[in-house]
Amino acid sequence: MKIIISGGTGFIGAKLSERLNNKGYTVAVISRKPSAVNKKYKALGWDENEIILFIKGEKFGVINLAGRSISSGRWTDKNKKRILKSRIWSIDFFENLFEKTKLLPEVFVQASAIGYYGTHEEYSFSEKSDVGEGFLANLSFEIEKAFSNKIKSEKKIIIRTGLVTDKSGGFLKRLLVPFRLYAGGHFGNGRQYFSWIHIEDEIRAIEFLLENPQARGVYNLSSPYAVRMKEFCKTLGRILKKPSYLHVPGFVLKLIFGQMAKEVLLSGQKVVPERLIEEGFEFSFPKLDAALSQILLNKY
Ligand SMILES: NC(=O)c1ccc[n+]([C@@H]2O[C@H](COP(=O)([O-])OP(=O)(O)OC[C@H]3O[C@@H](n4cnc5c(N)ncnc54)[C@H](OP(=O)(O)O)[C@@H]3O)[C@@H](O)[C@H]2O)c1
């Protein structure tokens, strides 16, 4: 099958493209800069004609990971609008394309995030939980609403992804810097939950949903064992053989990062991947210790 990955140049997209390409899918990556796309894949712009030519009337699926990063600067009103607009814009693009051409993807996977649930120090959130409060909850809600209303496909899937964990990108790459300088530690009181997922399981879960004929609707992509930030940092310190005793007080982070500090750095949510487990997905790295050991020490 042909697979179009928009945002396939990003942290998750690059690994996903590689995986699906190696499995025999014909992968095309849509990018704002097609010349920068890895030559292994067909590079497409956000251009209807190029996409129609690639599909050539054959069966195809779409995985839409494109959008301005939530960590692209302070969350000013202007930036928040740009983050939302970049994501709704890509959904509108596919809606128009499918309407004009009467093309119908076999499967359409849309990126969302566990930020959908808002934050809480104690609750566990499954796919059945309600939308929470805050910018990320609103952003995820709007993305999912646009997707549900505008995209037609045989099989529609929303992935609510947790904190994707790998040393090549995402939050761990940033967290490693102070740890390697012997200045590692948690943020605020460290009680905020980290619903992390090993990059390998993120990619395998997307592949599972793509290939499982029964899969439909919303799935949480996070490990079954979320941990509090303090525990995450302690485990990280132990594996790196570096201390994890410093901690950055909340007010400092709020001063530097504003609302982002409140929603992302100082609070979190404990998310359970209920539907993936019910439907038989087996995590390669369900526990943090093994996940970090594999990522940082190439163990397992
Ligand atoms: N990484 C995580 O831990 C995490 C957690 C939860 C949810 N997610 C979601 O999963 C998706 C992929 O995440 P990621 O970490 O791989 O993101 P990423 O590395 O930031 O990649 C996103 C891609 O989107 C494209 N893009 C950036 N700004 C854009 C804009 N203004 N308009 C259109 N396209 C734009 C870029 O591709 P080009 O430059 O090639 O156009 C970029 O490669 C995102 O929707 C993200 O919100 C990620």
- Main-chain phi, psi angles of 255, to 5 degrees: -65, -40
Nearest residue by C-alpha to atom 36 in ligand 1: 7
Residue 132, pLDDT score: 98
The CA 243 to ligand 1 mean position distance, Å, reads 32
Mean pLDDT, the chain, whole residue set: 96
The CA 219 to ligand 1 mean position distance, Å, reads 18
The CA 176 to ligand 1 mean position distance, Å, reads 21
Distance CA 23, CA 207 (A): 10
Tokens of 65: 């990971």
Q: pLDDT tens-digit profile of 49-105? A: 999 999 998 999 999 999 999 999 899 999 999 999 999 999 999 999 999 999 999
Kindly report which listed range (27-41, 92-106, 250-264) carries the lowest average pLDDT score: 250-264
Mean pLDDT of 132-154: 97
Residues forming a β-bridge with 67:
none
Residue 257, pLDDT score: 84
Regarding predicted confidence, which is higher, 22 or 261? 22
Q: What is the pTM of this model?
A: 0.97
The CA 288 to ligand 1 mean position distance, Å, reads 24
Tokens of 218: 């919303």
Nearest residue by C-alpha to atom 28 in ligand 1: 68
Residue 205 has pLDDT above 90, yes or no: yes
Tokens of 240: 């790196």
Mean pLDDT of 143-158: 97
Residue 255 has pLDDT above 90, yes or no: no
CB-based burial of residue 150 (10 Å sphere; 0-12 exposed, 13-18 middle, 19+ buried)?
middle
CB-based burial of residue 276 (10 Å sphere; 0-12 exposed, 13-18 middle, 19+ buried)?
buried
The CA 77 to ligand 1 mean position distance, Å, reads 20
Q: pLDDT tens-digit profile of 222-244? A: 999 999 999 999 999 999 999 99
Residues forming a β-bridge with 109:
63, 157
Residue 200 has pLDDT above 90, yes or no: yes
Residue 202, pLDDT score: 98
User: In the chain, which residue ranges form alpha helices assigned H by DSSP?
Assistant: 11-22, 48-55, 77-101, 135-150, 170-180, 199-211, 229-240, 250-257, 259-260, 274-278, 288-297
Residues forming a β-bridge with 218:
158
Q: Determine whether the shortest distance from the Cβ of 33 to ligand 1 is under 6 A.
A: yes
Distance CA 299, CA 9 (A): 27
Q: What percent of the chain has pLDDT over 90?
A: 91
Position in ligand 1 atom list of the atom nearest CA 37: 40
Q: pLDDT tens-digit profile of 178-191? A: 999 999 999 999 99
Distance CA 127, CA 47 (A): 34
Instruction: Among 4, 5, 9, say which to mutate for ligand 1: greatest number of ligand atoms within 8 Å of CB.
Output: 9
Residue 300 has pLDDT above 80, yes or no: no
Q: Determine whether the shortest distance from the Cβ of 35 to ligand 1 is under 6 A.
A: no
